[in-house]
Structure 1
Amino acid sequence: MGKEEQALKVEEKLAKLGRGRDSESGKADGMNGDGPAPDAGALEAAKRTAFIEQGLRLLELAETGDKAAAEKAYKLAEELRSLFPDDPLAAALYGSSHSLMGRYASEGSTMFARAIEGIEIIEGAVRRDPENIVLRKIRAQHSYRLPEAFFHRTAAAISDFQYLAAQFRAGSKEIDSGEYQRILYQLGDCYLQLGMSADAREVWDELLALNPNSPYAEAARKQLHQHLPQELLSPPEMEDIDDLLDWAIALFRQGLKGSPAAAAAAKVCLEKVHQLRPEDPAVEAYYGSALALTGRYSSNSSDMFQNAVQGLALVNSALRDWPKSPEIRLLRGYLCFSLPEPLFHLTDRAVEDFEWVREWYLTTSRRKREKVLSRAEFLDLLFSLQTAYRRLGQNEKADALTLEIETERARPAEN
């Protein structure tokens, strides 16, 4: 059963509990047509459990970029908190959903304020019940999703993931094997964000041994293979500029997949190529994208903003010079898609570029399109477009894209 189906099932349970409560309150003699009325305390406990189950499922959906789920999670958390004002779990769910709604705020200051308020609410809840595994899960995921450059919560996420992993190893029934694998992946990812490569490798070695074919193991394996030695931070001496450009683009793509070292190396190389070919729009676009990418990995928020703004300006300049380039459109689309919406308001621009490239791909010969996008990369584009639609609350467009994605997946490989 999928997460959305599970959420609907719990919604039905909540509705039944609400009808039961109304019916019970209307019986003066404590009886109903089928026998004794339910115990009020048991009914409240059941309602609390159902609310929390639904809240957790909606929150998990919301963290994937589902705006409708985020709105439902926030509304449910508000009601849960009003019904159980002294419950730490109710407070933590409210804090996390309140913070998540900041993602869709029209002002950057609102996004920051909601995140900080969420941190304070969740910290207060954990202080009241520090051994509660569900509370630690909520705080771990909340800390994990916040950008480290602004909120510095990666260390807190590490602490919670370590605690949860220890509880699983101790035999806790509140964490299943699949969830443990996700915890190991996210713990290793947190280590990498803080430059603790040896710790990340140790944790991911355990993940790979546990289930080498899981999606989390595959994601960890890719990141492990992307580690670059320090000498790659300086470009090699090359006579052929095209060779340097190809090498720089390969580094840039590794940087997109999570390697700060590759991103830094790509920026150095592309800057050199741009100096040698200042009139080449494609080179300018790649250099701008690489500049913005290095900002993403910066621990300094000023550098992050400055690099993003300068990089986007370069890509926009390149696109003005070559407006029908699918490669430059793709670069700008992914750059806009990667920037926080409340601060930059560029998701609609990403949608515009993704839709343009999608139309170009579907109406272009196989020979031409394969020079820009492989079939797997086109699928990634469709998934990104779907996520962008949901980020903007355009759920009907996102749902309509599902059929196209499934059709593309099922299409036989071209020979």
Structure 2
Amino acid sequence: MASSSRFTSTRANAWSGLREEPRRSQARQITLVPAPHRPASDEDIAEGIRLHSLAMSGNREAIQQALTYFEQLRNRHPADDRVAAYFADCQSLLGSVVDDSYSMFKNAIPAIKLLDQAVENRPDDLEIRLLRAYQSFRLHEGFFRRTSTAIGDFEAILAAYDEGRLALPPKKRNQILFDLGCAYQRLGMAEQADEVWNRLLALDVGGDYTGAVERARGYFPADQETALLALTEKADLLREGVRLFEAGAAGDRGAARVAKELLKKAHETDPDDALALAYYASATALIEKDAVEPNALFGCAIRAMKALREAKEKDPENPRIRLLRAYLAYSLPEAFFHTAQTAIQDFRFVLEAYEKDPALLTKEEYARLLHHLGECYRRSTNDFEAKKIWARLAADCPDSPYCDSIPASVREEVTP
């Protein structure tokens, strides 16, 4: 969370370590609270929340820094459930960026237990409930089965808001509503998702979420879909399929669905066309990336990688095919698929082709490629090459938002 304000009543003064307790005569006496049982000070928590906010960006260095801070704070205040909850969330964030399945589960499972215990100890502490909601929401449903927990916590927070027990800024309230709808949709509860999203759209006076909700719902104009699916020429199918595939990759579920059908027809029209095969495989993987069951997720990813390898063998010098394979390899969990090296090879191939023909990539595509290539090197613990790529990103694309992903410890070193 980005704010240090509490959702619950003010705690005892952590600096004095004193708590008042009633005597039988109704008079009050001062009782010394042992140090391990004192809550952390608001100042200490505020600093931790600042670090936690940076960690939420997904930067591994920021996550480790926040985790270390809360670990030390928890050692000093082991009875503070608020500190334990933040520590657990940082631990879970670390599990989301590790590169082996053992470490992923090693971080996620203890974090789940800690957050559940914190909520059990303080069921009315809505700050802790919000931490658990998003920790559960981030975890893959197929492995952890925590989406229902996220729904329960989101609903509790919104109920407190409706009853006037919790003040939420409109921006945060709307984000919670959007994510709650996504959580319902993930479990196949379309009616509940639509109900939540309709409430969001009614409250979203600026219309900031209108497009996001339409994309999440998978809406696509029926007349346009009919016209597109009536196309028969391979060139037309490929052109429109690629256009919609790009929109689907940006989060438009309806565009992704129609893109898959168009690219399937393009591939069936000419099975020997390597580019059509590559796009069809990528579009299929895009559709299946949110599969709940691990077997479906893994099976689709394996088939897509096999098809992209086949496309690459058919047309080994095609940079677009190599870029498609690079992004699929990059998107797969390294903990299970170990495809970082494949992504590196393909990104490097495209980068060399771009140096010969700058028209190959737009400025945004070039910055995105450098960002992902640097991250691939980091995943492979090749910090030397990662720094070289980050330096190139900072020098060639200084205004790109991807520069924000450069770790703080090397940003000054690589920024000209």
TM-score range (shorter-chain normalised) is 0.7 to 0.9
Q: Contact 1:52 / 1:90 at 8 angstroms: preserved in 2?
A: yes
| Equivalent in the alignment of 1:244 | 237
| Equivalent in the alignment of 2:188 | 195
Deviation at 1:267, TM superposition (A): 4.1
- Residue 288 in 1 paired to residue 281 in 2? yes
After superposition, the Cα gap between the structure-2 partners of 1:328 and 1:215, relative to the gap in structure 1 and judged at 3 Å, is farther
Hey, what's the Cα distance between the residues in 2 that align with 1:144 and 1:300?
16
Deviation at 1:176, TM superposition (A): 2.7
Deviation at 1:136, TM superposition (A): 0.8
DSSP 3-state at the match of 1:304: helix
| Equivalent in the alignment of 1:109 | 102
| Equivalent in the alignment of 2:68 | 75
- Residue 184 in 1 paired to residue 177 in 2? yes
Letter of the 1:72 counterpart: Q
Matches within 5 A, 1:210-289: 210-211=203-204, 213=206, 219-224=212-217, 226-227=219-220, 236=229, 238-258=231-251, 263=256, 266-289=259-282
Structure 2: where are the runs of 5+ without partners? 5-14, 17-31, 402-416
DSSP 3-state at the match of 1:156: helix
Matches within 5 A, 1:8-47: 47=40
Matches within 5 A, 1:5-404: 47-171=40-164, 175-211=168-204, 213=206, 219-224=212-217, 226-227=219-220, 236=229, 238-258=231-251, 263=256, 266-354=259-347, 356-357=349-350, 360-361=353-354, 364-365=357-358, 368-369=359-360, 373-378=361-366, 380-381=368-369, 384=372, 396=387, 400=391, 401-402=393-394, 404=396
DSSP 3-state at the match of 1:74: helix
Structure 1: where are the runs of 5+ without partners? 8-19, 22-38, 410-415
Higher helix share: 1
Select between 82-91 and 141-150 the one with higher mean Cα deviation: 82-91
Letter of the 1:119 counterpart: I
Hey, what's the Cα distance between the residues in 1 that align with 2:292 and 2:248?
16
| Equivalent in the alignment of 2:19 | none
Hey, what's the Cα distance between the residues in 2 that align with 1:215 and 1:382?
30
Letter of the 2:324 counterpart: L
Q: Contact 1:252 / 1:262 at 8 angstroms: preserved in 2?
A: yes
After superposition, the Cα gap between the structure-2 partners of 1:79 and 1:276, relative to the gap in structure 1 and judged at 3 Å, is same
Hey, what's the Cα distance between the residues in 1 that align with 2:156 and 2:198?
19
DSSP 3-state at the match of 2:216: helix
Q: Contact 1:67 / 1:391 at 8 angstroms: preserved in 2?
A: no
Aligned length, in residue pairs: 371
Q: Contact 2:130 / 2:153 at 8 angstroms: preserved in 1?
A: yes
After superposition, the Cα gap between the structure-2 partners of 1:124 and 1:292, relative to the gap in structure 1 and judged at 3 Å, is same
| Equivalent in the alignment of 1:36 | none
The alignment's C-alpha RMSD in Å is: 4.0
Letter of the 2:72 counterpart: E
Deviation at 1:122, TM superposition (A): 1.0
DSSP 3-state at the match of 2:357: coil
Query: What percentage of aligned pairs have identical amino acids?
Result: 33
TM-score, structure 1 length as denominator? 0.73
Q: Contact 2:88 / 2:111 at 8 angstroms: preserved in 1?
A: yes
| Equivalent in the alignment of 1:28 | none
Letter of the 2:152 counterpart: S
Deviation at 1:71, TM superposition (A): 1.1
| Equivalent in the alignment of 1:34 | none
Deviation at 1:61, TM superposition (A): 2.8
After superposition, the Cα gap between the structure-2 partners of 1:389 and 1:93, relative to the gap in structure 1 and judged at 3 Å, is farther
DSSP 3-state at the match of 1:308: helix
After superposition, the Cα gap between the structure-2 partners of 1:180 and 1:255, relative to the gap in structure 1 and judged at 3 Å, is same
Deviation at 1:138, TM superposition (A): 0.8
Select between 304-313 and 270-279 the one with higher mean Cα deviation: 270-279
Deviations 1:199-240 (A, max 9, x none): 4444344444545558656533543574577x979x946542
| Equivalent in the alignment of 1:26 | none
Hey, what's the Cα distance between the residues in 2 that align with 1:335 and 1:130?
41
Deviation at 1:145, TM superposition (A): 0.9
Q: Contact 1:295 / 1:306 at 8 angstroms: preserved in 2?
A: no
Deviation at 1:389, TM superposition (A): 6.4
DSSP 3-state at the match of 1:98: helix
After superposition, the Cα gap between the structure-2 partners of 1:136 and 1:347, relative to the gap in structure 1 and judged at 3 Å, is farther
Q: Contact 1:70 / 1:101 at 8 angstroms: preserved in 2?
A: yes
Hey, what's the Cα distance between the residues in 2 that align with 1:386 and 1:85?
38
After superposition, the Cα gap between the structure-2 partners of 1:264 and 1:221, relative to the gap in structure 1 and judged at 3 Å, is closer
After superposition, the Cα gap between the structure-2 partners of 1:116 and 1:47, relative to the gap in structure 1 and judged at 3 Å, is closer
TM-score, structure 2 length as denominator? 0.73
Hey, what's the Cα distance between the residues in 1 that align with 2:238 and 2:308?
17
Q: Which has the higher contact order (CA 8 A, sep 6+)?
A: 1
